[in-house]
């Protein structure tokens, strides 16, 4: 006679891409898979990342961290995250490549939970996408928009194209570079990106343009506002 194991003693199924789970079940399974480095829940569907290649993901990701990291260092009250799990809502728990958020005490819309996760929408999310066919520009973008992520950057590596979306009246509007190829954040004053230079791998120019943004009056006033001066 075969005795069925109680549900509490049965092995937890692993996360598989395409699974449809609640956020709570997604987290329960994720915790039992310590060797899985990146899994996301987007609109109730599980996505488990494949091993990441260097030129098509790791290197551009690193360049974005350098750019965002310089801004964070020079902007007290702003926090930077690399591949942080974000509890957006009950159907979405992404793990963005880069996030910038304003401290909750300074008026930010996201918070850190007691178990050290980000809950709510960071002000800025950045994703490195293989191509325009990636989920980053479809369901994930929709989830970020609906949860009011204020700005969303997607770098499409195969097309060598970068899109910077800004939330306006509930919709994402694409920000266009100025005559010098620079996009200026509408949420983080002084966060300037020389798009052609980034796409060409010219980080000296990228950081020079960012430094100009950090030297701007707008950035100085933003830092004062965050600090309550």
Instruction: Quickly list DSSP for 32-71.
Output: T-TT---EEEETTEEEEPPPPPIIIIIHHHHHHHHHHHHH
Alpha helices, DSSP H, located in 84-189: 139-146
Sequence ranges of the domains in the chain: 52-227
Percent with pLDDT over 70 in the chain: 94
Q: Which CATH number is associated with domain 52-227?
A: 3.90.1570.10
Residue 221 has pLDDT above 90, yes or no: yes
| Cα distances (Å, whole numbers) of residue 205 to 46, 185, 188 | 38, 17, 20
Question: Binning pLDDT at 50, 70 and 90, where does residue 10 land?
Answer: low
- Per-residue pLDDT reduced to its tens digit, 149-182: 999 999 999 999 999 999 999 999 999 999 999 9
Phi and psi at 203, nearest 5°, equal -75, -20
Question: Binning pLDDT at 50, 70 and 90, where does residue 1 land?
Answer: very low
Residue 6 has pLDDT above 60, yes or no: no
| 21-38 mean pLDDT | 92
CA-only gyration radius of the chain, Å: 19
- Report residue 186 CA to chain centroid gap: 16
Residue 109 has pLDDT above 60, yes or no: yes
- Per-residue pLDDT reduced to its tens digit, 202-216: 999 999 999 999 999
Element (H, E) at 162: strand 161-168
**SS3 (DSSP) at 207:** helix
The pLDDT, as a whole number, for residue 5 is 47
Q: With the C-alpha atoms ordered 20, 25, 31, 33, is the resulting torsion angle positive or negative?
A: negative
| Gap between the Cα atoms of 77 and 71, Å rounded | 11
| 94-116 mean pLDDT | 96
Indicate the pTM of the whole model. 0.90
Q: List CB contacts of 47: < 8 A, sequence separation 6 or more.
A: 17, 39, 40, 41, 135
- Per-residue pLDDT reduced to its tens digit, 36-70: 889 999 999 999 988 888 999 999 999 999 999 99
The pLDDT, as a whole number, for residue 131 is 73
- Ramachandran category for residue 105: left, alpha or beta (phi over 0 → left; psi -120 to 50 → alpha): alpha
| Gap between the Cα atoms of 53 and 180, Å rounded | 31
Measured N-to-C along each axis, helices 59-73 and 203-214 cross at an angle, to the nearest 10 degrees, of 20
| Gap between the Cα atoms of 78 and 109, Å rounded | 12
């Amino acid at each position: 006679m075969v005795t069925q194991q109680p549900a509490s003693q049965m092995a937890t199924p692993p996360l598989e891409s395409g699974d449809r789970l609640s956020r709570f079940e997604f987290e329960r399974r994720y915790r039992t898979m310590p060797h899985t480095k990146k899994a996301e829940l987007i609109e109730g569907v599980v996505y488990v990342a494949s091993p990441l290649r260097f030129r098509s993901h790791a290197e551009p990701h690193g360049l974005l961290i350098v750019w965002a990291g310089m801004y964070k260092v020079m902007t007290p009250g702003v926090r930077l995250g690399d591949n942080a799990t974000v509890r957006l809502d009950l159907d979405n728990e992404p793990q963005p490549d880069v996030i910038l958020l304003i401290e909750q005490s300074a008026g930010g819309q996201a918070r850190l939970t007691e178990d050290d996760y980000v809950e709510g929408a960071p002000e800025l999310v950045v994703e490195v996408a293989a191509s325009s066919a990636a989920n980053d520009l479809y369901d994930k973008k929709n989830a970020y928009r609906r949860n009011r992520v204020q700005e969303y950057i997607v770098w499409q590596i195969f097309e060598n194209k970068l899109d910077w979306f800004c939330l306006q009246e509930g919709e994402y509007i694409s920000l266009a570079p100025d005559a010098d190829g620079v996009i200026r954040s509408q949420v983080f004053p002084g966060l300037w990106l020389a798009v052609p230079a980034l796409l060409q791998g010219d980080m000296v120019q990228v950081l020079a343009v960012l430094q100009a943004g950090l030297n701007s009056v707008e950035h100085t006033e933003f830092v004062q506002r965050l600090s309550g001066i």
